[in-house]
Amino acid sequence: MAAIISGGIDVPAWIESRNVSRTQILVVILMGLTAALDGFDAQTIGYVAPAVMHDLQVAPAQFTPVFAFGLFGLLLGCLVIAPLADWVGRKRILVLSAVFFGLMSLLTAWAWSLDSLIVLRFLTGLGLGGSMPNAIAMTAEYFPRRNRAFTTMVMFSGFPLGATLGGFMAAWLITRYSWPSVFIVGGILPLVLAAGLAATLPESFRHLVLKGGAAEVAAVLRRIDPGARFADDAHFIVREEHQGGITLIHLFREGRALGTVLLWIIFYCSLLDIFFLSSWLPTVLHDAGLSLSASVVETALFQGGGVVAGVTLGLFIDRIGFLKVLVPVYIGAGLAIASIGYAGTALDLIMLASFLSGACVIGGQNSSNVLAAVFYPTYIRSTGLGWALGIGRIGSIVGPVLGGMMLGAHWDRQSLFIAAAIPSFVAAASGLILGLTRGGTITQQSAPALSH
């Protein structure tokens, strides 16, 4: 019979001392599914854009607000909705966000005009923005330090995986049932997921500790280790910084100001590139002579590269640290993106360039998500991730808008993709500065330091 544990229990240390359980695996699966449906719903508008523009008889430049307002909704969701989890709990925000963006996606299938499509994509973005920061935070909290980067990146690989599978599904659905069917599928699946989250997902144990829910913490820990027994006087602690007041202000206190700004630059540049490419790559390739199905599949390969990177880069980060992974990956992203413009219409070269671009730029963003999760302590983690992703969403708005402007100005493909490569090089430089200035001071409570 297991000994009864009494007194003060350091919950993170308790987690570190145990093998990964079925409950923790359940958490990463559920959060991976959340990321996958986020990826599917966020990317669908890029896949269906050529068909919608044809039906509504609008030019690419006129369609730009659809991308921009959808991403503006994502921005507000990250900045406003996601941080609410630091007060009301991550599980509640995850469930409500999935319900909301599922319903809005369903309604998008019946959009009757360009204006209605803009409004519905904005509302869908609000729900999407509220869920992703908390999915990252939840996964990071539930896994021990020795494999936290790997599991968090595997979880986030659900985003490009959902976008990739969504591309193949969209290509099939559009040719058989027209574009509204893509949004119907993208609406039903999040509602099913929300029911699963409500029934099976545990709350963040760190959140419960900070909010004083001793009985709830004990119940969660017994799910991780069914043999654990806690005395009546047992109380749970998290040995990390916790301060009151406005959480946003603490992103710039206690020596975090420079790191916060550099993280924001990385997220801004990375998401600018991701959404520039995912929004306009199908249209650019289609205009260059590829069929609609082929251009959608090529963009799906871009997302597929991110899936492969998410599985592999986490292993390297757990072994050699962030700096030795993040900087080379973003340099590779810039080179790969630029090469798309020189691939002509050769399918094999476009496939390779798209795949490598996705592996590097999405892999870099994936790594940055983990970095942000370990940079901030629990009491401001959702706020820190939400604002980093929110600032990044500004880049995700700027990317499609710039793409529309450049296409409207008739930029050639080479110039277009050379311009798209620049943000990745800026992200690499910011990562290098962050590693050199904060590499030895990143808190060790959650993951390895930036450099070793």
19 within some domain: yes
Q: Is residue 438's pLDDT more than 70?
A: no
Of 416, 369, 173, the closest CA to residue 271 belongs to 369
Report, in angstroms and rounded to the nearest whole number, the Rg of the chain calculated over CA atoms. 22
Q: How many domains does the chain have?
A: 1
Q: pLDDT tens digits, residue range 144-155?
A: 777 777 788 788
State the pLDDT at residue 452. 33
State the pLDDT at residue 445. 39
376 within some domain: yes
Q: Report d(CA 72, CA 76) in Å as an integer.
A: 6
Q: Is residue 163's pLDDT more than 80?
A: no
**Mean predicted lDDT score pLDDT of the chain:** 79
Higher pLDDT, 232 or 62: 62
| C-beta separation of 120 from 212 below 8 A | no
| C-beta separation of 56 from 81 below 8 A | no
445 within some domain: no
**235 - beta bridge partners?**
8
| C-beta separation of 385 from 136 below 8 A | yes
Q: pLDDT tens digits, residue range 38-85?
A: 888 777 777 788 788 888 887 777 787 887 788 788 888 877 887 777
State the pLDDT at residue 107. 92
49 within some domain: yes
449 within some domain: no
Over residues 268-272, the mean pLDDT reads: 92
Q: Is residue 450's pLDDT more than 50?
A: no
SS3 239: coil
Range of 311's domain?
Answer: 4-438
Question: The domain spanning residue 434 has which CATH number?
Answer: 1.20.1250.20
Give the residue carrying structure tokens 């030895």.
Answer: 440
Higher pLDDT, 393 or 422: 422
Q: Is residue 429's pLDDT more than 80?
A: yes
450 within some domain: no
Among 22-36, 208-222, 424-438, the least confident range: 208-222
236 within some domain: yes
Name the band, by pLDDT with cuts 50, 70 and 90, for residue 315: confident
Contacts of 172 (CB under 8 A, 6+ apart): none
Q: pLDDT tens digits, residue range 273-290?
A: 988 887 777 777 767 666
Among 1-5, 165-169, 200-204, 374-378, the least confident range: 1-5
336 within some domain: yes
